[in-house]
Amino acid sequence: MTDKRLTGRGAIVTGGALGIGGATARKLATEGAKVLIVDVEEDAAEANAQRITDAGGTAVAMTGDVSQEQVAKEMVERAVHEFGRLDIMVQNAYGGGNDRAGSAVEVKPESWRSGMDLLVTALYLGAKYGVPAMEESGSAPGFNTGSWTGAGLRHGDAPKMNVGRIVNLSSVHGLLQAPRSLIYEAGKAAVIGLTRQMAVDFGPLGITVNAIAPGHIVTERGEAMWGEVGNEPGFKLFELQYPVRRTGVPDDIAAGIAFLCSDEASFITGVVLPIDGGLSIQLQENIVMDTKDFIVENPGLKTHFDQGRGTSRR
């Protein structure tokens, strides 16, 4: 039986056409939310919305670059227009460019600015326009106000509703640094600071704000990339670095996001939830020693790093 935890809630998922965002849009819809997918990929966004509709859910697609203020404003207006309310924002969109790799000496100022526009500014803009709309939406259908105790209250009254949810996509790259990845690593670390700040600012409004730090998630694009690499030991090396001995899939992240959006998570705010199979909790020297034999046994081993597409060369 499907537990519909989000019935009647209005949601926006940026970058909701493909990958983690695509799976999240489907998961939120399965839980009863009405979902606006905002993405630069028009056809893929429409296709995912159709997939959700075909499965009995509610979803609408909108094309736009969420780093643009006008798009951030329009997506909020569109969600309120379509669904009558806004409760959930999953700020997930990202598309890397070849110009994003490098250290501070190497990256160009224009690459830094465009990278930060999408990694960080887009999330600020989403909240700037989304939070007032969430406030105006009031208590969501199905939310039991009688169960709200105001636990943790320090000043003033408890929020009248505690259903607003912002989930920002950070990364294990926001927690740990890879070489020559200034823009992505600094951007994803900034997402964590921005999340904590918003949690403090918007908690009294009944809105929780959390971040997810995924490990290596094999999305549609990821599958295509590993297909190009075409080297089974290379992928196995990635899996070996995870205590759970596998890399992730988009549904792993979507499940965590859906939980953070549910009533069950109303007392969780300002956290960074790693969903990474334990990748980020290990001592690095042990990982190297654990994988050394495998690398020696597979001298032809290749990963996307060998194609200049690894994080360290992003």
Ligand X SMILES: NC(=O)c1ccc[n+]([C@@H]2O[C@H](COP(=O)([O-])OP(=O)(O)OC[C@H]3O[C@@H](n4cnc5c(N)ncnc54)[C@H](O)[C@@H]3O)[C@@H](O)[C@H]2O)c1
- Positions in the binding site for ligand X (CB under 6 A): 14-15, 17-21, 38-41, 44, 65-67, 92-95, 118, 169, 171, 214, 216-217, 219, 221-222
Q: With DSSP H G I counted as helix, E B as strand and the rest as coil, what are the percentages for the chain, rounded to 5?
A: 50, 15, 35
- Between CA 301 and CA 241 the distance in angstroms is 15
Q: Which of 94, 124, 129, 184 is catalytic?
A: 184
Question: What's the CA angle centered on 185, arms 303 and 310, to 5 degrees?
Answer: 10
Residue appearing with tokens 């505690």: 162
CB-nearer residue toward ligand X: 23 or 161: 23
Mark whether 124 is an active-site residue.
no
CB of 197 to ligand X, least distance (A): 18
Kindly give the residue spans of alpha helices, DSSP state H, lying in the chain. 19-30, 42-54, 69-83, 109-116, 122-137, 182-202, 220-229, 232-240, 250-261, 284-297
User: In this structure, what token pair is assigned to residue 79?
Assistant: 């969600």
Beta carbon nearer to ligand X, 140 or 217 = 217
Q: How far is the CB of 181 from ligand X (least distance, A)?
A: 12
Burial category of 308 from C-beta neighbours within 10 Å (exposed 0-12, middle 13-18, buried 19 and up): exposed
Among positive and negative, which fits the CA dihedral 6, 129, 93, 178? negative
Return d(Cα 6, Cα 163) in angstroms, integer: 10
Minimum CB distance to ligand X smaller for 142 or for 310? 310
CB of 38 to ligand X, least distance (A): 6
Closest residue by beta carbon to ligand X = 19
By beta-carbon proximity to ligand X, the closer residue of 160 and 221 is: 221
Q: Which is nearer to ligand X, 30 or 92 (CB)?
A: 92
Shortest reach from residue 287's CB to ligand X, in Å: 18
What is the smallest separation between the CB atom of 218 and ligand X, expressed in angstroms? 7
Q: Which residues are catalytic?
A: 184
